[in-house]
Each structure stands twice: as structure tokens, then as C-alpha cells.
Amino acid sequence: MGNAVHDKDSQLVYLKERLNMFVEVIDTMDPEDIELEDIDRLIGMLDDLEDKCEQFKK
């Protein structure tokens, strides 16, 4: 995922892959064992996704 993404189709595929990774991370978590660091990591992942969406809008 280190390659630059310029066309709209590639950007959409990139965002979908990142969102799928986010969902996979959530699916693997045990709600009974989640710690503050886990939640911080999830928030960071969402922030990264939001930044990419903003980048791709421009």
C-alpha cells in the first residue's frame, strides 16, 4: 500500500481496502479484553481514513 494513488477508481479501491482492514481489526477484538490503547489505535485508524478521504477529495 505504499504506492501513490491518483485516479478515482484506485482511490476508491484503496479506501475500501483500508475500511475492510479496520473492520477485520474490530472483528478480531474481544469486547471483554479491550483496553484504552486498543480504542486509541482504532481512533487513529479512523483518523487516517478520514485524512485519506480529504486528500482524495482535492
pLDDT digits (tens, 9 = 90+) for 15-36: 999 999 999 999 999 999 999 9
Higher confidence at residue 8 or residue 58? 8
* pLDDT reported for residue 7: 84
Which H or E element spans position 51? helix 36-57
pLDDT digits (tens, 9 = 90+) for 44-57: 999 999 999 998 88
Average pLDDT of the residues in 1-23: 84
Residue 3, pLDDT > 70, answer no
